[in-house]
């Protein structure tokens, strides 16, 4: 519907002054996301004394009036639990989207504020917010919302139990930096320096081989060569200890997918029949069966990892047809991140089987996580294995280690330290020492 | 001192279901300061023989540490004289922020009634359906009338049945009422008092820094998980078994309004299998704030203390009396049956023994002085004083005049009277004058 043209463009109305929602991410946001400032609440420490409400109301209405505070402590006497309702300054605030007068804005400093000039006190923000954080002042009927005291929250400063902790979020994510560095180095080593060594590498007595290639080799030749088995064992043992670390940190095709995935937008949704994680095991079985029938390593001819590793150099780029598989499979990223790794990669399938033995695991403690305003772990997981629904319900989800590629994006991104690495036998999850994941 | 009061007194006529709001006499406040001392004056001025006066101190609701006090004054049927029962948790600030500093409750309501106090008005709700309901049911029902953060003082079935051992309860926390406030409320047909404090007062913001400094000075800033209920019991001479039992089952420390010392506990426990339901175990929870009541029950019925205390709170009876009247032997079922009998009406005998049992830890404090302040306050004597009993009385009276939790002041003798008075009288000259007036008010309360 077209808007009626303004008769006099020189007149500035309140509507012109209101901030408009930001539609696109700036380039800098791709590489260095804005800081996420918020207050962490520790329910175990909170005694319900209400000092936070007192100091907050002092700032809001210049008197001690707990019902006019922007923080509310809910005291459940029957269950002996205290909860604090306070704004989490979400990355994508729902209150901001719900506000019909665009009175709510998220500043460059990450603080979500209500501009009282534009607020008509309709209360839609309180309904939209999953934490119910914009609070209605029971005396005046206005809406109170935490503005983090412009970066120095009084409630945090005066909480006698230190149950409130102010954090500006993580700045540089060191795991992310380290992973990209390792991935780049691995790519250069496997693709440029030691061409073709991923499929088979021999230096003196040391031999390394791709486990999927080995399976196909055994199937096609009908013989088991002991040195071949031992050479594939290195990667398998590593996987049995740390899970599919190879996929997340070393695989050159994984690196290509991550690069492509961070640049191209995801616009196409895959049909559900394509989204079966069992497909890769079918492809693995097909590769082994096909190799036995054809008498050569059938999948290796179209393997994107092998294709990349063999493509550089004199015999490399000019092989053309083999290399063409790489952009073709990388284009699957328009649907989901790491689509190839999730559903189709037979190398991942072999490693996934070994990862069943995993010595370490990743756990996410729902109790420590701010379910509604964050869910960043689920957003950043390239394999899509963190159950957002369970987290929202307050249940610690089990991370299937057969699918997890140990990229540790969840650990790196979680602002609440709710995602951690644990040994397989450790039962606790962050937040509740005795609680186990579902 | 004007910023510390609403300067309003509500005179509630239960028979007429009406409220008259009169201005608080500034001279009286300047002279008597507040709390129990002003309650006493109002009792004489407006009250009849069975009136109940509710009041707050100047510091109630302010930045001063543990400023949670509401004090009720009435003629006790147990002692035959005036008694001042302190209520802590959040009732004091909620009453002050509801617009009244003092409430005089007169006459008898024609039917069971709940008073809803908010925004300087009192509303009367019929509460016939609450009669004989247990305290948790009443609280759940009343919650619908509460704003966020509101609080309620209610009576249970024991008060409905005119049991002399009835005890009022603030929410699900029970109370220190052991001198018959619940019985008086029962005879007046008042089932509950709901305070919805949705306003506030401009206590000086500079008091916040002063208060923080005071809290730091007594070493209470920072997580205090190891303090709480147990540390009060330690001062009362609880043995190691009781402490171990509490350590094992302690779930959470809870503090009153603006209190850095969480002396209340919320406990998770497993209900023991009853005779006819062997093997059945049920998960239960109970709030602990009555140190004396808990200790008396725990000394006699160690393993069953949580269950018994939970039943006492549900029925609204005093655990100290219950501990004396329950049989030593027998099963848990017998005890629960007996509890129902106690809450069902007057029971002959046992009270004297109960008193002796419950107050064996009075530590030299005269029982009549202990009962003057509700009979439920932890009798912790202050070491290093010439007359511990005199010091205890004075300390409690001071807290009841200023509006500070008496237990907090008893536990932390390092907190000086002058420091507290300086919250509302920061200038040196005024401080001295107010110090004298506070002293005279405390002496008056103690009857010295």
Q: What is the average per-residue pLDDT within A53-70?
A: 93
Beta-bridge partners for B252: B266
List, for residues B251-270, the tens digit of each pLDDT value: 788 999 999 999 999 998 87
Partners of B256 on chain A (C-beta within 8 Å) are 49
Measured between CB atoms, does A186 come within 8 Å of chain B? no
Give the Å distances, CA to CA, from B214 to A162, A225, B218: 17, 79, 7
Measured between CB atoms, does B369 come within 8 Å of chain A? no
Contact A44 B252 (CB under 8 A): yes
Question: What pLDDT score does A438 carry?
Answer: 41
Domain-embedded: residue A117: yes
CB B320 within 8 A of CB B382: no
Q: What is the average per-residue pLDDT within B32-50?
A: 93
Residue of B nearest to A82 (CA): B254
> Which of A303-317, B281-295, B334-348 tops mean pLDDT?
B281-295
Residue of A nearest to B219 (CA): A160
CB A373 within 8 A of CB A41: no
How far is residue A386's CA from residue A413's CA, in Å, rounded to a whole number?
Answer: 13
Question: What pLDDT score does A320 carry?
Answer: 57
> Which two structure tokens, joined as six digits, stand for B76?
């006790």
Secondary-structure percent of chain A, ordered helix, strand, coil, rounded to 5: 40, 10, 45
Q: Which band of pLDDT confidence, cut at 50, 70 and 90, is reported for residue B353?
A: very low
Percent of chain B topping pLDDT 70: 91
Question: What pLDDT score does A6 carry?
Answer: 47
Domain-embedded: residue B419: no
Q: CA torsion angle for A73, A78, A81, A87 (degrees, to 10)?
A: -30
List, for residues A248-265, the tens digit of each pLDDT value: 999 999 999 999 988 887
Mean of the per-residue pLDDT values for chain B? Answer: 88
User: Are residues A163 and A179 both part of a single domain?
Assistant: no
CB B39 within 8 A of CB B53: yes
Is the pLDDT at B138 greater than 70, yes or no?
A: yes
Domain range for A106 is 31-167
Is the pLDDT at B277 greater than 90, yes or no?
A: no
Domain-embedded: residue A429: no
Q: What is the average per-residue pLDDT within B232-255?
A: 86
The DSSP code for B68 is -
Query: What order do you get walking across the sheet with B282-288 strand by strand?
Result: B250-254, B264-271, B282-288
Is the pLDDT at A129 greater than 90, yes or no?
A: no
User: Are residues A201 and A122 both part of a single domain?
Assistant: no
Question: What pLDDT score does A435 carry?
Answer: 44
Question: What pLDDT score does A119 carry?
Answer: 92
H or E element at residue B162: none
Of A145, A167, A189, the residue at which a domain comes to its end is A167
Residue of B nearest to A77 (CA): B172
Residues 63-122 (B) with a CB less than 8 A from some CB of A: 63, 90, 93, 97
Q: What's the number of domains chain A is made of?
A: 3
The least confident of A6-15, A210-219, B151-160 is A6-15
User: Are residues A200 and A342 both part of a single domain?
Assistant: yes
Contact B173 A66 (CB under 8 A): no
Is the pLDDT higher at B44 or at B381? Answer: B44
Q: What is the average per-residue pLDDT within B46-71?
A: 94
Beta-bridge partners for A364: A419
User: Are residues A46 and A145 both part of a single domain?
Assistant: yes
Domain-embedded: residue B246: yes
Contact A65 B200 (CB under 8 A): yes
- B227: Cβ contacts below 8 Å, ≥ 6 apart: B220, B253, B261, B262, B263
C-alpha count within 13 angstroms, C-beta hemisphere, residue B234: 11
Is the pLDDT at A431 greater than 70, yes or no?
A: no
Phi and psi at residue A40, to the nearest 5°: -90, 140
List, for residues A391-413, the tens digit of each pLDDT value: 877 778 889 999 999 999 998 88
Give buried/exposed letters for A339-353 (b at 16+ CB in 10 A, else e).
bbbbbbbbbbbbbbb
Which of B32, B76, B81 is closest to B57 using CA atoms? B32
Q: Which band of pLDDT confidence, cut at 50, 70 and 90, is reported for residue A217?
A: confident
Give the Å distances, CA to CA, from B210 to A66, B7, B159: 20, 25, 43
* Chain centroid to CA A117: 37
Domain-embedded: residue B443: no
Contact A139 B199 (CB under 8 A): yes
B291 CB neighbour count, 10 Å cutoff: 25
Domain-embedded: residue A263: yes
Question: What pLDDT score does B54 carry?
Answer: 97
Which of A261, A48, A251, A72 is closest to A163 using CA atoms? A48
Q: Which band of pLDDT confidence, cut at 50, 70 and 90, is reported for residue B93?
A: very high
Measured between CB atoms, does B235 come within 8 Å of chain A? no
Domain-embedded: residue A368: yes
Question: What pLDDT score does B63 carry?
Answer: 95
User: Are residues A91 and A191 both part of a single domain?
Assistant: no
Give the Å distances, CA to CA, from A156 to A43, B89, B282: 14, 22, 38
Closest CA of chain B from A82, distance in Å = 9
User: Are residues A116 and A185 both part of a single domain?
Assistant: no
User: Are residues A160 and A263 both part of a single domain?
Assistant: no
Q: What is the CATH number of the domain that holds A394?
A: 3.30.70.20
How far is residue A210's CA from residue A215's CA, in Å, rounded to a whole number?
Answer: 9
CB B256 within 8 A of CB B89: yes
Contact B61 A78 (CB under 8 A): no
User: Are residues A241 and A134 both part of a single domain?
Assistant: no
Q: Which band of pLDDT confidence, cut at 50, 70 and 90, is reported for residue A436?
A: very low
Closest CA of chain B from A428, distance in Å = 18
ipTM of the shown complex? 0.93
Closest CA of chain B from A72, distance in Å = 8
How far is residue B287's CA from residue B310's CA, in Å, rounded to a whole number?
Answer: 8
Question: What pLDDT score does A433 carry?
Answer: 44
Domain-embedded: residue B329: yes
Is the pLDDT at A178 greater than 80, yes or no?
A: yes
Closest CA of chain B from A137, distance in Å = 9
Is the pLDDT higher at A202 or at B17? Answer: B17
User: Are residues A132 and A232 both part of a single domain?
Assistant: no
Residues 120-159 (A) with a CB less than 8 A from some CB of B: 138-139, 158
How far is residue B58's CA from residue B81's CA, in Å, rounded to a whole number?
Answer: 25
Which of B42, B60, B84 is closest to B5 using CA atoms? B60
Radius of gyration from C-alpha coordinates of chain A:
27
Closest CA of chain B from A415, distance in Å = 22
Question: What pLDDT score does A235 carry?
Answer: 87
Is the pLDDT at A322 greater than 90, yes or no?
A: no
Pairing mode of beta strands A38-41, A164-167: antiparallel
Partners of B149 on chain A (C-beta within 8 Å) are 50, 53, 66-67, 72-73, 75
Is the pLDDT higher at A402 or at B356? Answer: A402
* Pairs from A169-173 (Cβ < 8 Å, separation ≥ 24): A169/A35, A169/A36, A169/A37, A169/A38, A169/A110, A169/A415, A170/A412, A170/A413, A170/A415, A171/A35, A173/A412, A173/A413
User: Are residues A192 and A295 both part of a single domain?
Assistant: yes
Q: What's the number of domains chain B is made of?
A: 1
Closest CA of chain A from B215, distance in Å = 9
DSSP labels for A228-273?
A: HHHHHHHHHHHHHHHSSHIIIII-HHHHHHHHHHHHS----PPPGG
Percent of chain A topping pLDDT 70: 83
Partners of A77 on chain B (C-beta within 8 Å) are 139, 171-173, 266, 287
Partners of B225 on chain A (C-beta within 8 Å) are 45
User: Are residues A183 and A104 both part of a single domain?
Assistant: no
Q: What is the average per-residue pLDDT within A356-373?
A: 79
User: Are residues A36 and A150 both part of a single domain?
Assistant: yes
Q: What is the average per-residue pLDDT within A305-323?
A: 65
Question: What pLDDT score does A223 carry?
Answer: 81
Domain range for B332 is 221-358
Is the pLDDT at B434 greater than 70, yes or no?
A: yes
Of A298, A328, A355, the residue at which a domain comes to its end is A355
Is the pLDDT at A239 greater than 70, yes or no?
A: yes
Is the pLDDT at B28 greater than 50, yes or no?
A: yes
Partners of B171 on chain A (C-beta within 8 Å) are 77
List, for residues A69-124, the tens digit of each pLDDT value: 999 999 988 888 888 998 988 877 889 988 999 899 888 888 999 998 899 999 99
CB A166 within 8 A of CB A156: yes
Q: Which band of pLDDT confidence, cut at 50, 70 and 90, is reported for residue A222?
A: confident
Partners of A69 on chain B (C-beta within 8 Å) are none
Q: What is the average per-residue pLDDT within B178-192?
A: 94
Q: What is the average per-residue pLDDT within B14-42?
A: 95
Q: What is the average per-residue pLDDT within B429-443?
A: 93
Mean of the per-residue pLDDT values for chain A? Answer: 82
Question: What pLDDT score does A191 carry?
Answer: 82
Tell me how far apart the terminal alpha carbons of chain B are, to the nearest angstrom.
26
List, for residues B360-379, the tens digit of each pLDDT value: 556 678 888 888 999 899 98
Domain-embedded: residue A369: yes
Measured between CB atoms, does A72 come within 8 Å of chain B? yes
Secondary-structure percent of chain B, ordered helix, strand, coil, rounded to 5: 40, 20, 40
> Which two structure tokens, joined as six digits, stand for B264?
């209340």
Measured between CB atoms, does B253 come within 8 Å of chain A? yes
Measured between CB atoms, does B171 come within 8 Å of chain A? yes
Contact B252 A80 (CB under 8 A): yes
Residue B97: exposed, middle, or buried by beta-carbon count in 10 A (0-12, 13-18, 19+)?
A: buried
Contact B202 A66 (CB under 8 A): no
List, for residues B187-237, the tens digit of each pLDDT value: 999 999 999 998 999 998 889 999 999 988 888 776 655 667 888 998 888
> Which of A109-118, A203-212, A220-229, A424-433 tops mean pLDDT?
A109-118
Domain-embedded: residue B417: no
> Which of A224-238, B4-18, B251-265 tops mean pLDDT?
B4-18
List, for residues B397-420, the tens digit of each pLDDT value: 999 999 999 999 999 888 999 999
Q: Which band of pLDDT confidence, cut at 50, 70 and 90, is reported for residue B387?
A: confident
Question: What pLDDT score does A382 carry?
Answer: 92
How far is residue B187's CA from residue A16's CA, in Å, rounded to a whole number?
Answer: 65
Domain-embedded: residue A430: no
Give buried/exposed letters for B348-384 (b at 16+ CB in 10 A, else e).
eebbeebbebbbebbbebeeebbbbbbbbbbbbbbee
Of A134, A152, A167, the residue at which a domain comes to its end is A167
Domain-embedded: residue B234: yes
Which of A68, A80, A162 lies at the smallest CB-CB distance from B222? A162
Q: Is B113 helix (H, G, I), strand (E, B) or coil?
A: strand
The least confident of A221-235, A280-294, A376-390, B150-164 is A221-235
- A226: Cβ contacts below 8 Å, ≥ 6 apart: none
Percent of chain A topping pLDDT 90: 33
The DSSP code for A370 is -
Domain-embedded: residue A238: yes
Question: What pLDDT score does B223 carry?
Answer: 60
How far is residue B145's CA from residue B103's CA, in Å, rounded to a whole number?
Answer: 20
Residue of B nearest to A73 (CA): B149
Which of A336, A429, A434 is closest to A383 using CA atoms? A336
Phi and psi at residue B106, to the nearest 5°: -115, 160
List, for residues A19-28, the tens digit of each pLDDT value: 555 555 555 5
Question: What pLDDT score does B342 carry?
Answer: 83
Domain-embedded: residue B110: no
Question: What pLDDT score does B369 carry?
Answer: 85
Question: What pLDDT score does A225 carry?
Answer: 76
Domain-embedded: residue B145: no
Domain-embedded: residue A2: no
């Amino acid at each position: 519907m077209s808007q009626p043209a303004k008769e006099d463009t020189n007149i500035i109305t309140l509507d012109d002054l209101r901030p408009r929602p930001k539609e696109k991410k700036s380039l800098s946001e791709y590489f260095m996301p804005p800081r996420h400032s918020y207050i962490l609440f520790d329910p175990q420490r909170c005694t319900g004394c209400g000092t936070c409400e007192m100091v907050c109301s002092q700032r809001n209405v210049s008197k001690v009036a707990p019902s006019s505070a922007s923080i509310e402590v809910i005291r459940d006497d029957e269950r002996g639990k205290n909860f604090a309702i306070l704004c989490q300054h979400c990355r994508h605030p729902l209150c901001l989207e719900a506000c019909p007068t665009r009175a709510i804005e998220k500043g460059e400093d990450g603080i979500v504020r209500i501009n009282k000039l534009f607020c008509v006190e309709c209360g839609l923000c309180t309904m939209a917010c999953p934490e119910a954080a914009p609070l209605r002042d029971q005396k005046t009927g206005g809406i109170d919302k935490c503005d983090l005291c412009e970066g120095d929250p009084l409630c945090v400063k005066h909480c006698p139990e230190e149950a409130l902790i102010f954090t500006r979020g993580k700045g540089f994510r060191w795991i992310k930096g380290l992973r990209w560095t390792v991935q780049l180095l691995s790519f250069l080593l496997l693709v440029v320096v030691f061409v073709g060594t991923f499929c088979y590498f021999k230096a003196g007595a040391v031999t390394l081989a791709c486990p999927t290639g080995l399976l196909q080799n055994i199937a096609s030749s009908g013989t088991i060569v002991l040195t071949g088995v031992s050479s594939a064992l290195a990667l398998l043992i590593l996987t049995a200890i740390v899970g599919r670390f190879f996929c997340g940190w070393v695989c050159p095709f994984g690196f290509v997918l991550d690069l492509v995935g961070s640049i191209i937008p995801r616009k196409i949704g895959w049909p559900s029949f394509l989204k079966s994680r069992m497909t890769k095991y079918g492809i693995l079985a097909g590769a082994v069966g096909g190799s036995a029938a054809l008498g050569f390593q059938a999948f290796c001819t179209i393997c994107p990892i092998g294709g990349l590793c063999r493509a550089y150099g004199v015999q490399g780029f000019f092989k053309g047809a083999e290399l063409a598989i790489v952009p073709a499979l990388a284009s699957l990223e328009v649907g989901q991140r790491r689509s190839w790794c999730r559903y189709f990669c037979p190398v991942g399938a072999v490693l996934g089987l070994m990862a069943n033995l995993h010595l370490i695991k990743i756990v996410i403690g729902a109790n420590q996580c701010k379910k509604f305003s964050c869910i960043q772990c689920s957003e950043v997981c390239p394999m899509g294995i963190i159950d957002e629904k369970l987290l929202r319900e307050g249940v610690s989800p089990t991370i299937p280690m057969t699918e997890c590629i140990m990229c540790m994006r969840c650990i790196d991104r979680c602002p609440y330290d709710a995602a951690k690495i644990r040994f397989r036998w450790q039962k606790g999850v962050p937040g509740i020492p005795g609680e186990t994941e579902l | 001192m004007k910023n510390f009061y609403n300067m309003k007194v509500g005179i509630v006529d239960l028979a007429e279901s009406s409220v008259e709001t009169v201005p608080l006499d500034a001279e009286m406040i300047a002279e008597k300061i507040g709390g129990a001392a002003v309650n006493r004056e109002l009792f004489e001025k407006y009250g009849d023989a069975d009136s109940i006066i509710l009041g707050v101190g100047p510091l109630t609701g302010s930045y001063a540490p543990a400023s949670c006090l509401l004090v009720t004054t009435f003629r006790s049927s147990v002692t035959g004289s005036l008694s001042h029962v302190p209520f802590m948790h959040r009732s004091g600030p909620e009453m002050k922020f509801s617009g009244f500093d003092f409430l005089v409750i007169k006459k008898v309501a024609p039917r069971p009634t709940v008073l809803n106090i908010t925004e300087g008005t009192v509303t009367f709700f019929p509460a016939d359906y609450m009669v004989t309901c247990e305290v948790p049911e009443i609280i759940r029902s009343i919650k619908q009338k509460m704003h966020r953060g509101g609080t309620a003082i209610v009576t249970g079935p024991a008060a409905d049945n005119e049991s002399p051992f009835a005890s009022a309860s603030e929410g699900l926390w029970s109370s220190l009422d052991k001198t018959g406030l619940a019985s008086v409320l029962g005879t007046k047909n008042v089932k509950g008092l709901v305070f919805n404090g949705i306003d506030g007062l401009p206590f000086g913001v500079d008091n916040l820094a002063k208060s923080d400094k005071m809290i730091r000075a007594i070493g209470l800033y920072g997580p205090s998980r190891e303090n709480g209920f147990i540390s009060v019991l330690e001062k009362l001479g609880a043995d190691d078994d009781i402490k171990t039992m509490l350590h094992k089952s302690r779930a959470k420390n809870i503090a009153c309004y603006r209190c850095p010392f969480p002396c209340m506990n919320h406990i998770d426990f497993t209900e023991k299998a009853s005779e006819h339901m062997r093997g059945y175990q049920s998960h239960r929870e109970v709030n602990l704030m009555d140190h004396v009541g808990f200790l008396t029950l725990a000394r006699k019925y160690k393993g069953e203390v949580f269950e018994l205390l939970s039943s006492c709170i549900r029925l609204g009876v005093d655990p100290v009396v219950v501990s004396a009247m329950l049989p030593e032997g027998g099963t848990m079922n017998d005890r629960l049956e007996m509890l129902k009998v106690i809450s069902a009406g007057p029971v002959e005998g046992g009270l004297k023994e109960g008193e002796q049992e419950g107050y064996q830890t009075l530590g030299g404090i005269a029982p009549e002085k202990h009962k003057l302040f509700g009979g439920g306050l932890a009798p912790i004597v202050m070491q290093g004083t010439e007359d511990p009993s005199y010091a205890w009385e004075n300390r409690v009276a001071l807290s009841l005049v200023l509006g500070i939790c008496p237990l907090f002041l008893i536990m932390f003798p390092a907190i000086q009277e002058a420091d507290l008075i300086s919250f509302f009288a920061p200038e040196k000259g005024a401080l001295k004058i107010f110090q004298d007036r506070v002293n005279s008010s405390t002496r008056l309360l103690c009857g010295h």
